[in-house]
Amino acid sequence: MILPNRRFVCLSFCVLLGSPIAVHGQFLKELWSLKYSRFNDQTRPSGAETALLEGQVRWDDESRQLNPTGMRLRFVKIDEQQTPEGGAARYRVYAEGAPENKVFSMDIPANGRTEAVSQEIFVNGQGLLMTRKPTPEQDTLLKAPGDEYVVMPSTGLAEPVRYRFSSMDGRIRILGTLVPHPVASTDEGCRLEARIAQPNARAVLIVADRFPPRYKVQFVFESEGMTAREVVSADADGHAAIVDFPYVQGKTQGTLKATAEGPGCLPSVVLPWGPAPHPSAAVP
């Protein structure tokens, strides 16, 4: 079944109330904190704002506290479909390792509410999500047109959609993040991605991957003549994340350029911000 086609306006706003983040929030706060970059004339983000942003990063970073099973949703593009708002891609979804003897549901925690899909979902032996219990012949299939569970989010540039796949008995919760139109760059193996974290890109999540383990990644942010620099230590997997607030006083829109320096690599991404953003982003 395809989710209703609509524009997900910055679905990166995860619900904190009633989510695993709220349950473990104090414990997680003691273990981990997110770094922020802002330009000199910007006001400091509020506590509620930073809590939402940290929730997004934990959701995307496969946090064991939020996702204790260690399983993640995986999305594979099927094709492009035309909608009243334009083209949108369809994706089949996998939850490898999820038990076949349970019934599941899907919801999208975002913008202070949870949008649930009122149908039962099943998985086969390959982790393929299906709209009915798989037959023995379907148990080993990687695709099952007509019976597979399909999502078709209608999003803008660099807008993530975050999904939560839960067993009906509440014992299993599997998370996943899908960015249908990513703004990303790879240089000499190092990867950098920008994700919109607040409407009109008031905050932008910058994600660095494939850097050396524990490497101190130097980030440079440029926006409408302003420059800011921050250093973030990558984790054991060479992953680092930081949030930038690209707005500049006296400007209503602009362009953010983010660069991450690694040993022999320098990936950069460019993303428009403001209420009337440019039609597309560029990757240098």
Q: What is the full DSSP assignment across 180-191?
A: SS-EEEEETTEE
Asked which of 178, 198, 232 is the last residue of a domain, the reply is 178
pLDDT of residue 154: 84
- Prediction pTM value: 0.82
Shared-domain flag, residues 78 and 133: yes
pLDDT of residue 212: 97
In a domain, residue 282? The reply is no
Shared-domain flag, residues 249 and 201: yes
Tell me how crowded residue 130 is: count the other CB atoms within 10 A of its CB.
23
Shared-domain flag, residues 122 and 82: yes
Shared-domain flag, residues 210 and 140: no
Shared-domain flag, residues 141 and 235: no
In a domain, residue 111? The reply is yes
- Contacts of residues 66-70 at CB distance under 8 Å and 24 or more positions apart, as own/partner, are 66/19, 66/20, 66/21, 66/24, 66/175, 67/20, 67/173, 67/174, 67/175, 68/173, 69/97, 69/172, 69/173, 69/174, 70/97
Shared-domain flag, residues 99 and 153: yes
* Tokens standing for residue 161: 């959609």
Cα pseudo-dihedral 8, 77, 157, 216, rounded to 10: 110
Residue 232: which domain range?
A: 20-65+182-273
The number of domains in the chain is 2
In a domain, residue 9? The reply is no
In a domain, residue 79? The reply is yes
What are the residue ranges of helices labelled H in the chain?
20-31, 47-60
Shared-domain flag, residues 265 and 130: no
Asked which of 178, 195, 212 is the last residue of a domain, the reply is 178
Asked which of 178, 209, 228 is the last residue of a domain, the reply is 178
pLDDT tens digits along 178-214: 999 999 999 999 999 999 999 999 999 999 999 999 9
Report the alpha-carbon distance of residue 220 to residue 4 in Å, rounded: 39
In a domain, residue 195? The reply is yes
* Tokens standing for residue 14: 């995860």
> Domain with 24 in it: what CATH number?
2.60.40
In a domain, residue 279? The reply is no
Shared-domain flag, residues 120 and 40: no
Shared-domain flag, residues 111 and 136: yes
pLDDT of residue 276: 57
pLDDT of residue 97: 94
Residue 201 φ/ψ region, left for φ over 0, alpha for ψ in the -120 to 50 degree band, beta for the rest = left
In a domain, residue 110? The reply is yes
pLDDT of residue 112: 44
Shared-domain flag, residues 174 and 205: no
Positions of the chain with pLDDT lower than 70, given as ranges = 1-32, 41, 63-65, 83-86, 110-118, 276-284
In a domain, residue 280? The reply is no
- Residue 195, helix vs strand vs coil: strand
